Structure 1
Amino acid sequence: MAFYTYILRCADSSFYTGQTDNLEQRIAQHQSGYFTGYTYKRRPIELVWSEIFSTRVEALEAERQIKGWSKAKKQALIDGNWGLLSELARNRSDER
């Protein structure tokens, strides 16, 4: 079974990070308003990044790590800008 960590861009340009074992279904649930949490009033949402993991523990660890990142660091991950991502990781005080 595969597990995914994902980032959504919400209508207000904020990011939401989550994890699931069924990415297509989870995106549809966020889009439909099935969840009444963070994304509910921020629809429509757009999937902007995802990564596949072999265990739920790995996906949860990635979710927790990314949730602690600044918006700039998340955007660097989405863009695949590994240089900026590395720089932001080194300069944690600069990323806010």
Structure 2
Amino acid sequence: MPEPGIPLLDGWCLYLLECRNGAFYAGITNRLDARYAAHVAGTGAKYTRANPPVRVLATRGYPDRSAASRAEAQLKRLPRAKKLAFFES
């Protein structure tokens, strides 16, 4: 069962989290519910161990890992002010 507010997606997705310190964290996964739970538990990534997520801000689905990885690289090059807008285009 996914966490409340976490959409179920087929394929791969790019996600953006808001962390407790106010920072954004971006990643890709093919199991958003499990990946978010891992971040919350402190086993998802080194950064989110020190700065636990408080919510999923946005997600976007992709057909395969390669496409999701390219989108993640694009997102990470953007300034903070433009990261949320990336998911609206």
TM value normalised by structure 2: 0.80
Count of aligned pairs between the two proteins: 80
Runs in 1 of length 4+ with deviation above 6 angstroms?
Answer: none
Q: What RMSD, in angstroms, separates the aligned Cα atoms of the two structures?
A: 1.6
Change (3 A) 1:36 1:7: closer
Structure 2 segments unaligned to the other structure (5+ residues): 1-9
Secondary structure, aligned partner of 2:14: strand
* 1:55 partnered with 2:64: yes
Match of residue 31, structure 2, among 12, 22, 27: 22
Match of residue 4, structure 1, among 4, 9, 13: 13
Higher strand share: 2
* Counterpart amino acid of residue 66 in structure 2: V
8 Å CA contact retained: 1:30, 1:45: no
The percentage of aligned residue pairs carrying the same residue is: 31
Change (3 A) 1:53 1:44: closer
1:91 paired residue number: none
8 Å CA contact retained: 2:35, 2:44: no
TM value normalised by structure 1: 0.75
Structure 1 segments unaligned to the other structure (5+ residues): 83-96
* 1:73 partnered with 2:82: yes
Change (3 A) 1:54 1:15: same
8 Å CA contact retained: 1:39, 1:45: no
Offset of residue 58 of structure 1: 0.6
Match of residue 22, structure 2, among 13, 20, 24: 13
1:45 paired residue number: 54
